[in-house]
């Protein structure tokens, strides 16, 4: 099992978007591997639903345009499943 899939891995930021928003972007492509891939850029201020980061992510400062959509979550070396589930719950509060 890869080290980043075991309990104790350092969690990373998780970005949440609405599916319809991503599919409607001009650079959206469907390559058969990813649900949707966006070429070029995704304007975060307009399309970001939530950004969940570890509570101890020192030095992170979100731009004012989406600061209200950032959630910090306690994470003491969780398993990937625990981090993903908790982050999804945080994001769901913003939907």
Tokens of 34: 């990813």
CB under 8 A, 24+ apart: contacts of 33-41: none
Q: pLDDT (tens digit, 9 = 90+) per residue, 47-72? A: 999 999 998 888 888 899 999 999 99
Domain boundaries, the chain: 3-92
How much is the pTM? 0.81
Angle made by CA atoms 48, 51, 52, in degrees to the nearest 5: 160
Percent of the chain, pLDDT > 90? 54
């Amino acid at each position: 099992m890869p080290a980043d899939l075991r309990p104790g891995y350092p969690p990373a930021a998780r970005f949440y978007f609405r599916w319809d928003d991503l599919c409607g972007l001009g650079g959206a492509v469907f390559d058969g591997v990813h649900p949707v891939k966006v070429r070029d850029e995704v304007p975060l201020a307009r399309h970001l639903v939530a950004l969940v980061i570890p509570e101890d992510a020192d030095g992170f400062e979100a731009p004012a345009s989406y600061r209200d959509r950032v959630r910090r979550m306690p994470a003491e070396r969780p398993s990937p499943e625990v981090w993903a589930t908790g982050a999804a719950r945080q994001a769901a509060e913003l939907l």
